[in-house]
Amino acid sequence: MASSSSSVAVGLLISILASFFMVSSAGKFNQDFDIVWGQNKAKELNYGQILTLNLDKESGSGFESKNEYLFGKIDMQIKLVPGNSAGTVTAYYLSSKGANWDEIDFEFLGNVTGEPYILHTNVFCQGKGNREQQFYLWFDPTKDFHTYTILWNPQRIIFYVDGIPIREFENLESYGIPFPRHQPMRIYSTLWNADDWATRGGLVKTDWSQAPFTASYTNFNDDNACVWTYGQYSSCDSNNDNGAWYWEKLSFARRGQMKWVQKNYMIYNYCTDYKRFPYGLPEECNIKNQEF
């Protein structure tokens, strides 16, 4: 057991160090994104290498990608709202449109100074979500930029934090469970007020004397992604060599990292919430050998 724990710890250290030395080919934010909400509250800094979203009592702000994607491994480095961020939510996600949309969510739920952020994850398939898992982080996400990665390929979705997998959602269509595989999605991020639910179920309200609240973004990387063009073609359609990410799955060591995170930092898992689902857990939770 000791050697197994040591291997996981070494793997975690390597992944964390790698995140800080990540080489990105990111360009200016205005080349990749449009500001779609609170235009006067979103600002480009450092010649477009950094984008900030701001929230005050008047409104929040948000952006969306110019491109749509059908599968990809997409990185964004984010520094979250510092100090008393209670009531605020910084959302970073992929989403399609329409009544039966697909969506892959990172949401960061603010808290009072000194209390940890909650990282809220969810997966929507054909307009149906209710697949939440929540985590504390093993670092202060307000002190520096950290890398949040969504891997989405035809076989699985994996959420990574600084290169460390925290959650996997597999394609179980063979069991009749929908998987987001057919609808292209854009990248979105918003900073908004959700003090009716975000912090302790809405018990802690936003302290507007701390406004404006600011989240910062840098080093966006979509080099390993399939861009959807002309409403019908993916950049991967004519490329048989889509890269290792297109077939990526968790190695034994990576799965050990994920188990470590889930054991030590997971605070909510829909697949163990029998009170919420008194008539039976969602079907994917009951499939033999699935790890949640």
Q: What is the CATH number of the domain that holds 158?
A: 2.60.120.200
**How many structural domains does the chain have?**
1
* 284 is an active site residue: no
Q: Quick one: pLDDT band at residue 287, thresholds 50, 70, 90?
A: confident
pLDDT at 5 (0 to 100):
52
**Does residue 2 register a pLDDT over 90?**
no
**Does residue 21 register a pLDDT over 80?**
no
**Could you tell me if residue 35 is inside a domain?**
yes
| Model pTM score | 0.89
> What's the domain range around 105?
2-286
pLDDT at 230 (0 to 100):
75
- Cβ-based neighbours of 64, under 8 Å, separated by 6 or more: 33, 34, 36, 186, 187, 188
**Tens digits of residue pLDDT in 141-165:** 999 999 999 999 999 999 999 999 9
Give percent of the chain with pLDDT exceeding 90: 82
Average pLDDT over residues 258-278: 97
Q: Which of 103, 115, 248, 283 is catalytic?
A: 103
CB neighbours (10 Å) of residue 123? 23
Q: Quick one: pLDDT band at residue 58, thresholds 50, 70, 90?
A: very high
> Residues 32, 179, 12, 253: is their CA dihedral positive or negative?
negative
Average pLDDT over residues 85-111: 97
**Could you tell me if residue 154 is inside a domain?**
yes
Higher pLDDT, 9 or 59: 59
pLDDT at 195 (0 to 100):
95
Average of per-residue pLDDT values in the chain = 89
**Could you tell me if residue 84 is inside a domain?**
yes
**Does residue 19 register a pLDDT over 80?**
no
**Could you tell me if residue 292 is inside a domain?**
no
**Could you tell me if residue 180 is inside a domain?**
yes
**Does residue 22 register a pLDDT over 50?**
no
**Could you tell me if residue 291 is inside a domain?**
no
pLDDT at 133 (0 to 100):
98
* 170 is an active site residue: no
Q: Which of 68, 107, 168, 284 is catalytic?
A: 107
